[in-house]
Chains A and B, each alone.
Chain A
Amino acid sequence: MMELLSLAIISPLLGGLLIFLIKDRRFSKFISYLSSLISLIAFFVLFLNFEKTGGFQHVISLEWIPAWRVNIEFGLDKFNAPFAILTSLISIVAIHLSLRTAIERVENYLSLILLLQFTVIGFYLSTNLFLFFIFYEAMLPPAFFLIYRWGTGDSYRAAFKFLIYTFAFSIFLFIGIIGVFMAAGSFSFESLKELNLSLQDKTLLYLAFFLAFAVKIPIVPLHGWLRDAYYLSPTPITIFMSAVMGKMGIYGLLRVTPYFSDVLLEIGWAIILLCLISFIYAAFLALNQRDMKLLFSYMSLSHVGIITAGLLSGTLQGLNGSLLQSINHGVLAASFFYLAEIFKRQTKSYDMDRLGALSKRVPVLVFFTFAFVMAMGGFPGLSYFNGEILLLSGIFRHSVILGFLAIIGVAIGVVYLCYFFYRVFLKKPGSDMSLLVRDVRGFEFVIFSVFFIITLYLGLNPSFVIGQVENIFTYYGR
């Protein structure tokens, strides 16, 4: 099993380096599919073969910096395994979509995507804070090259904003990590259990972690990079950012939050309120958008707000809900951005007002879009609803008033999704742009079907991802 895990982690890196060294177009396509497929399958096999309780399993450990008692150590547990699978899955989708859209210098592009995948997986699977931090920062170079080099418009600014925001707030992650090291004398996640700090120091430490991750998620008012970075990036990268990289922040919080439950009792309401404001504010931003990709960007911004809010409620439901919802959101955000790209490819524009009256022309596309809209709108029985009900339960359990605030955001979420569907598919009369739209088929049909099946399956069996809800606190050893 250890070999399998090493394979899963290392194959994107190897693939990326191979492509970088052998600059051949056809070869690079083959290798990129192959390496992320290997990674996906390996993770899937591992996922089926591990207990959703207990600590890190299938641990790989290599001695690295003995002076700091830091090893290169990767392991799977309940929290990071779903994220790892999600990352591999989304990489395949992103790679495929990239190959569909004509992209110059595709070899470099693919190798960077694979490197990005490697760093993100490394981030998710690392079992100590130092490695976690390294991968958190190492993710930046591939990401900014991808945004800058292959983005549209003023991608220079977009890439720089993304970089500076993330990098700037990594100060706080640094401080958090050093703080843990100071208090516990070790970088491992285990050491979070034995923090001998006063409540005040703990609060500061937690706030440092929160700030660092909040910019990655992002939470308003730290979302300044999001619009440009999401909008101007090539869509496969947008998919990757929104589905996987935004989740890095959530995952980080998921790792540290349970150890700070006494802090959350003190200041929890304030940061939950902030997240919910982010949730609602972004929903309002989305409400006015006529541009599909911007709409989805803001939608993504909005939804991560409630995921974080639920997480910060520090309750059983909230933590499980945020884990589940991160996966659901990853899958659905990817499908929405994919949809936007389909429209862009065929009509050369993201403008929703120039579409309409599509419902009879492209039945398969309508079916999938409708399914995804319903899922994202929180239709009960589909995957998103389960996450939503857990998150809301968590928030309500923390505070009823905050819960009602969250509900308002949820409702606005439904409104803009309905507007989107109405404007693109139902509105009459349609414009002549609509005539350019073709139905999905081939590999795209397969991808959408996979997303749809995941949505359905997780709608009925969320415990596939989160295991038993009750287990989470036994896991944390309290």
Chain B
Amino acid sequence: MIEFLPLIAISVSVMGAILIVLIGDRNPNLRESISVIAGIIKFGAVVSLVPAFLQGKEIYLKVATVLPGLDLSFRVDGLGLLFALGASFLWIITTFYSIGYMRGLREHAQTRYFACFALSLSSAIGISFAANLFTMFIFYEALTIVTYPLVAHHEDREGLEGGRQYVFYLLGTAKVFLLSAIVLTYVLTGTLEFKKGGIFTPELVRNNTLLLQIMLIFYLYGFNKSAIMPIHSWLPAAMVAPTPVSALLHAVAVVKAGVFTVSRVLLNVYGGDAIKALNMQDFILFITSFTIITASLIAMTRDDFKARLAFSTVANLSYIIIGVAMFSPSGILGGIVHITMHAFSKITMFFVAGAVYVCAHTKKISELDGIGKKMPITMFSFALATLSMVGIPAFAGFISKFNLALGAIEISKPELVGVFVVSSFLNAAYFIPVVYRAFFREPKNPLKWVDVKENLFCAIPLFITSLFTVILGLYPNLPIIIIRSMLQ
């Protein structure tokens, strides 16, 4: 029975989406309650997998065998479970926030919005429980397609352009790089099933070194949702979307799906031994480090709130990959935990950016002087998230960064610690000014924020997520236990 839980978790939001479309604009309240209910059921389904998983049960479901070695099947493991937990939990919160945001701005096409939202969550959960590359590829592509209407939601010139870039980069890389990598994997091994320690035998690695190196690069850039530089420009371009979408994209589903898939490939397709035998570890570490530093530097130059957050996301995604690519226990732990930790911090920040836009109608950081007095909860949450992002102890970000640094030392590459330290400083350098402006600068025009009031539909969800950055910082046990059990 428990094998069907992943399928239920995936299909519940598909059902939800169908119901949402059927109800349509006739009854917005019912439509949004369905979103929430579906979210809760989904979260419930995922959570109820945890005990079974911790007991070490094998949870595996084969739906169909398409071709030999090409199954549609699901398996629950630590990595996926953690990702699914985070995504399904944040969906509930994002739904509440979306209600406030969409109603606050009287956005059009809300039915489509909620339906696509539900579908994108299905895809994300599908990715997390996929037992092989084929299944993962299905949901990965589905995720790109169902999020397109969300990115292009405004349907204006800018929106369509952003959507075009989004689809072009993601589908294009998936077709060119990912498809060839997957086919080559299939050709070489005859299977696409994930396996602990990788599916490439040492002999295969010896005989096809160059090919496997190229394939690895293809995997890294093919799962382009991870936005490793230099193919990252779709991510800032996709910022034209409504803020809850950006939050979903950047914190929960899309980019996390990207790093998740990359981690899967590194851990369960290649495996540490193969990567080391191919001499590709340094390459991955280098491009990710480069991405971290460069993206952080670019973020400093951006005045648009969401653009700054976007580049910060680009940098943080590479944290996760760098951690996984270390292939040392602490490194992997740090990397994967960062999926969750970063999710809570970043979603808070996006919620804040959206709330500021809904209430004060501004997108520029330079215009935020003094807003903290009018929106205290919002900006306080932002401050908490900032502390987490920078990696102050007792906050979520610290857990991951600490483990990452440990991992770097375990594989005796102290220069990576340097990268983390520098990037943390840069994090501070581009986030703390926001807090500073909001609370400690007076607006030039004293009457500027007179009409501004907090929107509680927005403020409460983001406050909750910011609290989680603290909670996870203080009690990081659950994610760590899950990952440890996976690593054994």
CB within 8 Å of B: which residues of A? Answer: 317, 374, 377-381, 386, 388-390, 392-393, 396-397, 400, 403-404, 407-408, 410-411, 414-415, 418, 422, 426, 428, 459-463, 468-470
Assess whether B176 is in contact with A386, with CB atoms less than 8 Å apart: no
Which residues of B in the span 206-240 have a Cβ within 8 Å of any Cβ on A?
211
Tell me whether A469 and B67 are in contact in the complex, defined as CB-CB below 8 angstroms, given that A381-B72, A397-B187, A411-B176 are known contacts.
yes
Residue B138 interfacial (CB < 8 Å): yes
Closest to B159 in A: A428
Nearest CB in chain B: distance from A413 CB, A: 8
Q: A393–B179 contact, CB under 8 A?
A: no
User: With the chains together, A379 CA to B134 CA distance in Å?
Assistant: 11
Measured CB to CB, the closest approach of chain A to B187, in angstroms, equals 5
Are the CB atoms of B66 and A386 closer together than 8 Å?
Answer: yes
Which residue of chain B has the shortest Cβ distance to A390 in the bound complex?
B67
CB distance A380 to B137 under 8 Å?
yes
Q: Are B176 and A403 in contact (CB under 8 A)?
A: no
Contact flags B47-72 to A (C-beta < 8 A → 1, else 0): 00000000000000001101110101
Query: In the complex, A143 Cα to B137 Cα: how many Å?
Result: 42
CA distance A397 to B67 in the complex (A): 17
A-B contact count (CB 8 A): 79
Expressed in whole angstroms, the Cα–Cα distance for A381 and B172 within the complex equals 18
B134 neighbours in A (Cβ, 8 Å): 380
A460 to B134, CA, bound (A): 12
Number of chain B residues whose Cβ lies closer than 8 Å to a Cβ of chain A: 31
Known: A379-B141, A428-B160, A460-B72. A414 touches B183 (CB 8 A): no
Q: Which residues of B contact A381 (CB under 8 A)?
A: 72, 138
Known: A378-B179, A380-B134. A414 touches B186 (CB 8 A): no
Chain B residues whose CB sits within 8 angstroms of the CB of A468 once the complex forms:
68
- Judging by beta carbons under 8 Å apart, are A400 and B67 in contact? no
Q: Is B293 positioned at the interface, with any CB of A under 8 Å from its CB?
A: no
Say whether, besides A380-B138, A462-B67, A396 and B175 are in contact (CB < 8 Å).
no
Say yes or no: A410 contacts B66, CB within 8 Å: no
Inter-chain contact A392/B183, CB cutoff 8 Å: yes
Q: List 7 A-B contacts (CB under 8 A).
A: A380-B137, A392-B180, A396-B180, A411-B176, A461-B64, A462-B66, A470-B68
Say yes or no: A396 contacts B187, CB within 8 Å: yes
Best-surrounded residue of A374, A414, A461, A470 (most CB of chain B within 10 A): A414
**B474 on interface, CB distance cutoff 8 Å:** no
A459 to B64, CA, bound (A): 10
- 4 new A-B contacts, CB < 8 A, other than A415-B168, A469-B68, are A379-B138, A379-B142, A400-B211, A407-B179
Contact A410 B175 (CB under 8 A): yes
B184 at the interface (CB under 8 A from A): yes
Name the B residues within 8 Å of A389 (CB-CB).
Answer: 67, 70, 182-183, 186
Give chain A nearest CB distance to B249 CB in angstroms.
19
Q: In the complex where A460-B64, A461-B64 touch, is A380 in contact with B183 (Cβ < 8 A)?
A: no
Q: By the criterion CB–CB under 8 Å, are A393 and B186 in contact?
A: yes
A392 touches B179 (CB 8 A): yes
Nearest residue, chain B, Cβ from A394: B187
Q: In the bound complex, what is the Cα–Cα distance between A415 and B164 (angstroms)?
A: 11
Which residue in B64, B171, B180 is a CB contact (below 8 Å) of A414?
Answer: B171
The interface of chain B, by Cβ under 8 A from chain A, is 63-64, 66-68, 70, 72, 134, 137-138, 141-142, 145, 152, 155, 160, 164, 167-168, 171-172, 175-176, 179-180, 182-184, 186-187, 211
Point out the residues of chain B lying under 8 angstroms from A459, CB to CB. 66
A396 contacts B184, CB within 8 Å? yes
Residues on A with beta carbons closer than 8 Å to the beta carbon of B172: 411, 414-415
The CA of A418 and the CA of B183, in the complex, are separated in Å by 23
Beta-carbon contact of A428 and B175 below 8 Å: no
* Complex contacts, A408 vs chain B, CB 8 Å: 176
- Docked pose: A377 CA to B72 CA in angstroms: 19
What's the Cα separation between A390 and B164 when bound, in Å? 30
Q: Shortest beta-carbon distance, B269 to chain A, in Å?
A: 16
A403 to chain B: closest CB distance in Å?
A: 7
Out of B67, B138, B167, B182, which one reaches A418, CB within 8 Å?
A: B167
Bound complex: CA A423 to CA B184 (Å): 34
Docked pose: A59 CA to B25 CA in angstroms: 60
Contact (Cβ within 8 A) B66 A404: no
Instruction: Collect the chain A residues with CB atoms within 8 Å of residue B155's CB.
Output: 428
Question: What's the nearest-Cβ distance from chain A to residue B460, in Å?
Answer: 33
B180 to A, closest residue via Cβ: A407
Bound form: Cα–Cα A390–B172 in Å:
20
- A-side contacts of B141, CB under 8 Å: 379-380
Max count, chain A CB within 10 A of own CB: residue among B66, B68, B141, B155: B66
Given the interface pairs A381-B72, A396-B183, A403-B184, the reply to whether A386 lies near B138 with Cβ below 8 Å is no
Q: Complex formed: what's the CA distance from A409 to B187 in Å?
A: 19
Q: How far is the CA of A71 from the CA of B272 in the complex (A)?
A: 63
* B416, chain A: closest CB distance, angstroms: 33
Name A469's closest neighbour in chain B (CB-CB). B68
Q: How far is the CB of B145 from chain A (nearest CB, A)?
A: 7
Query: Which residue of chain B has its CB nearest to the CB of A419?
Result: B164
**Counting chain A CB atoms within 10 Å of each CB, which of B141, B160, B164, B182 scores highest?**
B141
Residues of B within 8 A of A415 (CB): 168, 172
A386 and B175 contact, CB distance less than 8 A: no
Q: Which residues of A contact B186 (CB under 8 A)?
A: 389, 393
Contacts of B176 in A (CB 8 A): 407-408, 410-411
Contact present for A400 and B171 (CB under 8 Å): no
- Tell me whether B180 and A404 are in contact (CB under 8 A): yes
Nearest to A388 among chain B residues (CB) is B179
Residue of A393, A459, A462, A463 with most partner-chain B CB within 10 A: A393
Smallest CB gap from B21: residue in A? A363
Is the Cβ of B160 less than 8 Å from the Cβ of A418? no
Residues of B within 8 A of A378 (CB): 175, 179
Q: A410 contacts which chain B residues (CB < 8 A)? A: 175-176, 179
Closest 4 CB pairs of A and B: A411-B175, A392-B183, A380-B138, A381-B138
- B142 contact set on A, CB distance < 8 A: 379
CB distance from A419 to the nearest CB of B (A): 10
Contact of B66 among A411, A414, A461 (CB under 8 A): A461
Verify A418–B66 contact, CB threshold 8 A: no
Of chain B, the residue at the smallest CB distance from A427 is: B160
Give the residues in chain A near B63, CB-CB below 8 Å.
Answer: 460
With the chains together, A396 CA to B190 CA distance in Å?
Answer: 13
State the Cβ distance, B405 to closest chain A Cβ, in Å: 38
Name the A residues within 8 Å of B175 (CB-CB). 378, 407, 410-411, 414
User: Contact at B67–A386, with CB atoms within 8 Å?
Assistant: yes
Contacts of A386 in B (CB 8 A): 66-67, 70
Residues of B close to A393: CB separation below 8 A: 183, 186-187
In the complex, what's the smallest C-beta–C-beta distance from B141 to chain A, in angstroms?
Answer: 6
Question: How far, in angstroms, from A389 to B191 measured CA to CA in the complex?
Answer: 12
B179: A residues at CB distance < 8 A: 378, 388, 392, 407, 410
